[in-house]
Amino acid sequence: MTKKTLKIVSILMIIVLGALLFGYQQVEKYADRPLTIKQEKIFTLPAGTGRVALETLLIKEQIIDDSYLFPWLLRIEPELAQFKAGTYRFTPGMTVQEMLKLLKSGKEAQFSIRFVEGSRLRDWLVALQQAQYMKHSLAGKSESEIAVALGLDEKAPLEGWFYPDTYLYTAGNTDLSLLKRANQRMQKAVDQIWQGRAPSLPYKTVEDMLTMASIIEKETAINDERSKVASVFINRLRIGMRMQTDPTVIYGMGDAYIGNISKKDLETATPYNTYVISGLPPTPIAMPGLASIEAAAHPAKTSYLYFVADGKGGHTFSTNLENHNKAVRAYREVLKNKNEK
């Protein structure tokens, strides 16, 4: 090889190396380029999606621009091409490289659903039905069918037996699996509290304690009052006095309840109307929170037999009917003054 030829080859190599370096730098700059999204984007990558199909999907959903650099990035950094099927959350500012690393990690987007204390099973089922990216399998099923699906006896009451909390799930999780988690948590919590309950409580079964907890949950949202409310109902049960609690009437009315309770409603017998029946209703009337279960298991030691709202967010507790009637009149006066303003 002549000196002239060697010189030409050297120049060509420099040009090629320069071009390769320039190309590599362009690909790296592309990798650090932010996605084109302006707000959070949920992206589902189907199973079996290859490199070309991924690029097509990303462009179609306006997550990246159409660029010849994308396939080159996957060639230069082949580990980024090991993406996994799933549903992912992309955020504004995320780079192309960060997106591909997320797809490789398999860390799917998590979604949340909140079940509040005092809500009912029917409320939960509606929320589950409306939950996005969840696989729905319970629509149209009866309570007994749901019980069987949960692995419980078909006659097992479900009301009250799900732990209220915020639950996280990934796309494709079933509503049944989430209910199982909530049921198992409640079973565990109730069993532990039942084992450590105060002595001589008028409960025959753990279900009785949970039923009491559900009533407490519906009667007050103030933590300091829960054990006092529990004491009122415990004291009534001990002397054979009816519980006479409005939430049980409402529950027994079902869809007939439209926001008000009439005298006729209080006198109409249902299995849950504690103005008519003696003792506890047959099942819980809502999903109680942990604080209410603890209150049912450890009621305050009081002589209270009555309580009524005080118009200020709390309740006034009384040991006798005379004082209770005074508290009722005081409550009505507070309401009257509010309405006149």
DSSP 271-309: TT-TTTSSSS-SS-SS---HHHHHHHHS-------EEEE
Query: Both tokens of residue 209?
Result: 């304690």
State the pLDDT at residue 40: 94
Torsion over CA of 218, 220, 223 and 225, rounded to 10 degrees?
Answer: -130
Q: How far is CA 26 from CA 30, 81, 99, 197, in A?
A: 6, 18, 18, 69
Backbone torsions φ then ψ of 327, nearest 5 degrees: -65, -35
Q: Which domains does the chain have, with CATH numbers?
A: 26-105 (3.30.1490.480), 110-191 (no CATH), 198-340 (no CATH)
> Tens of pLDDT along the chain (341 residues)?
566 555 555 555 655 555 544 455 676 888 889 999 999 999 999 999 999 999 999 999 999 998 888 888 888 888 999 999 999 999 999 999 999 999 999 999 999 999 999 999 999 999 999 999 999 999 889 999 999 999 999 989 999 999 999 999 999 999 999 999 999 999 999 999 999 999 999 999 999 999 999 999 999 999 999 999 999 999 999 999 999 999 999 999 999 998 889 999 999 999 999 999 999 999 999 999 999 999 999 999 999 999 999 888 899 999 999 999 999 999 888 877 776 66
State the pLDDT at residue 4: 56
Give the integer Cα–Cα distance in Å for 118 and 30.
52
Amino acid at 237: L
SS3 (DSSP) at 169 = strand
Q: How many CA atoms lie within 13 A of 334 on its CB side?
A: 15
Does residue 247 contact residue 285 with C-beta atoms inside 8 Å? yes
Give the integer Cα–Cα distance in Å for 134 and 140.
16
Give the integer Cα–Cα distance in Å for 86 and 89.
10
State the pLDDT at residue 264: 93
Does residue 33 contact residue 95 with C-beta atoms inside 8 Å? yes
24-46 burial: b if 16+ Cβ within 10 Å, else e = eeebeebbeeebebeeebebbbe
Q: Which residues contact 303 (CB under 8 A, 6 or more apart)?
A: 235, 319
Q: Do strands 306-309 and 315-318 pair parallel, antiparallel, or not at all (unpaired)?
A: antiparallel
